[in-house]
Amino acid sequence: MLTETMSTAATIETKPQPPPAEKIKVKVDGKEVAVPKTTPDPVTGKPLPTSMIQACAAANVIVPHYCYHPKLPVAGSCRMCLVEFGTPAIGPDRKPIVNPDGTTKISRALRPVIACATPVSPGMEIYTNTPAVRLMREGVLEFLLINHPLDCPICDQAGECKLQEYSVDYGNSESRFVEAKVHKPKRVELGPRIVLDDERCILCSRCIRFTRDVAGDDALGFVNRGSHSTLTAYPGRAFDNNYTLNTVDICPVGALTSKDFRFRMRVWFLKETRSLCTSCATGCNIVIGSREDAIYRYEPRENDAVNSCWMCDHGRLNYKWIGREDRLVEVRKREAEGRGQASGSRSAAPTWSAVLGEISQKLKAAEPGSIAIVASARQTNEELHLLAKLAKRLGALTDSVPRIAAGDKLLLNADRNPNSTGARLTGIAADPMGSNLPAIAGGIRSGRIKTLIVFGEDATKCGIDADLLDKLELLIASDILPNATTRRAHYLLPGCAHAEKRGTFTNTKGRVQKFLKAVEPRGDARPEWEYLHELLVNVTSRDGIASIEGVFNEMAKEVPAFSGLTWATLGDTGISAKI
């Protein structure tokens, strides 16, 4: 029984559902809503009494707040979420008093409370929009603004700033503050990736709590007292862990800014595209911020089954290669005679259709067992599945390349391929991954393997040296950036970065997640699944649906682990496959 439970737990991503929680009925601004009595603590997972702000969220009422963050321990210090409330009045018989009209009599509390830290109780009524509550919010907002520099025109946060947003709702157009503002350090280098403006800081302590309680690096804190309180890193120590840039995301104002992003683009110009981080097997959900086909930033996107609200700095900053000048942007063909020569003759401007036609012919003509495929676990499920089908048809020896580096306990996985699981499930990778590579090298050396197809990897870096590549009769390479393999390829097919196409990855825990296209491919580059599909159709003479939806849905029918999935049902946060 126990093993059964454990194996079930191991196969699905989400933890086993706890027994249905006891519900409490409360009213938020007159609207009744039932909420669980307890809610798991965002950090420790221990059950905590459900708070008013959570009940309000359940009733689709957003209570303005600065320090509260659903994924952090509660601080209760900004006082923006003050609300009024009432509880059922209890009579001398210790029973609720009933009004003449049959409703429960509510006794209003004399003092306001913070919605973020006050537990709900049965029959409680929460009032989030009374004149008194609005006055309190106006008061808090005024206090936050008096010492704020109000430098929105040069502030990177402008456009996604909570101070700006609530100023529209609760601010005055004119300040009655006539004193001198408090001055604090500006342009402080907190760490290698973060710049702090202490005057903009509203002392909400989100960053402190994040780095202490989530990242496990107690690096930030306040010094000085009162209005002179100042956020700082520990003296003599840089704020430098792999999660620092999350503090920029959760900073409700423009105090913490990313050195990488600041002053590069106003946020309102950015197009936001739901995508995935490709830097490791965790598969953090991200939003790509792009404008006019240039990518400016990655930000984490909430997915509680994968990355909560966070992502690592390593993954976040790993986007610049997409815009590199030396991207492969044209289809290339080299005649076999020119092999090995630096000035290999090149036919003028080959086209996709011509090259794919030629490749198809050559593959069809190749004798069984003479072909090998080195795929990449950076490719999508669809691409790997199409490659696997092609390999099966051609009787090819296949594998993909493992990519291991140090991981950490939070999000960064030691497996730095985004789709190792997909490579395994589609059958393209050997078990263990990479164990077929010596056999492929040996096959080429012995002359048995005459054709090598390499996708997104540099074969010379995984045991198939340049002289082996030179022995091949046919080397087909598809890649995004140039390397020793692409330089030797007879046919070079320029592929797309994930940001330039659609597809799915299966993360290390088996969650199948899709990503969408943020920018146009460079030059003649095309999504790999497109030309793989075309090749497969050519080789098998079988028709298929040339759309990512069609390819995915077909794959779901053919790969047991993906059975039952459809492109449409994956949604924004994916589905856990049975791996």
Partner 1 sequence: MPQEHRQILKYVDQPGYTPDIECYLRHSGYEALKKAITLPPKTQADGKTTTGPEQIRQEVMISGLRGRGGAGFPCGLKWSFVDRKSGKPIHLICNADESEPGTFKDKQIIYKDPHQMLEGMIIACYANDAHLAYIYIRGEFVEGAKILARALREARAKNFLGRNILGSGYDLEIHIHRGAGAYICGEETGLIESLEGRRAYPRIKPPYFPAVLGLYLCPTIVNNVETLCAVKHITAMGGAEYAKLGTPNNTGTRIVSISGHVKRPGYYEIEVGKVTIGELIHDPCFGGGLRDGRKLKAIIPGGSSAKIFKAGEKFKLKGNSLLGREAEKEVELLDLPYDFDSIIEAGSMSGSGALIVMDDSTDMVEALSNIAEFYAHESCGQCTPCREGSLWMAKALHRLTHGGGRSTDADYLLRIADNIPGGRTICAFGEACAWPVQSFVGKFKDEFIAKGAADEERRMKPAASPQC
The residues binding partner 1 (CB under 8 A) are 49, 74-80, 82, 110-114, 117-119, 136, 139-140, 142-144, 146-147, 176-180, 182, 202-203, 221-222, 224-229
Confirm if 422 and 567 have CB atoms less than 8 A apart. Answer: no
Max CA separation in the chain (angstroms) = 102
For partner 1, the closer CB: 74 or 575? 74
Distance CA 386, CA 542 (A): 13
As a whole number of angstroms, the distance between CA 351 and CA 491 comes to 11
Q: Shortest gap between Cβ of 140 and partner 1 (angstroms)?
A: 5
- 202 or 512: CB nearest partner 1: 202
Round to whole Å and give the CA distance between 476 and 490: 6
Quick one: 118 or 242, whose CB is closer to partner 1?
Answer: 118
Minimum distance of partner 1 from residue 225's CB (angstroms):
5
Contact 241, 141 (CB under 8 A): no
Q: Which is nearer to partner 1, 82 or 561 (CB)?
A: 82
CA distances for 109 relative to 89, 124, 126, 255, angstroms: 10, 11, 10, 36
Contact 509, 13 (CB under 8 A): yes
Q: How far is the CB of 121 from partner 1 (least distance, A)?
A: 11
Residues 117 and 120: their CA atoms lie apart, in Å, by 10
Q: In what order do the strands lie in the sheet containing 503-506?
A: 503-506, 511-515, 575-576
**Minimum separation from the CB atom of position 110 to partner 1 (A):** 8
Q: Which is nearer to partner 1, 65 or 526 (CB)?
A: 65
To partner 1, the closest distance from the beta carbon of 232 in angstroms equals 13
State the minimum distance, in angstroms, from the CB of residue 58 to partner 1: 20
- What are the CA-CA distances from residue 568 to residues 22, 199, 548 (Å)? 34, 47, 11
Kindly list the distances between the CA atom of residue 528 and the CA atoms of 137, 179, 224, 295, 359, in Å, as whole numbers in the listed order: 53, 63, 57, 20, 15
Task: Write the burial class of residue 369 (CB in 10 Å: 0-12 exposed, 13-18 middle, 19+ buried).
Answer: middle
- Min separation Cβ 316 and partner 1, Å: 31
CB of 264 to partner 1, least distance (A): 32
Neighbours of 71 (CB within 10 A): 18
Q: Give the full edge-to-edge strand order of the sheet including 271-276.
A: 271-276, 285-291, 294-300
Question: CB-wise, 1 or 178, nearer to partner 1?
Answer: 178
State which residue, 229 or 553, has the beta carbon closest to partner 1: 229
Q: Which is closer to partner 1, CB of 126 or CB of 469?
A: 126
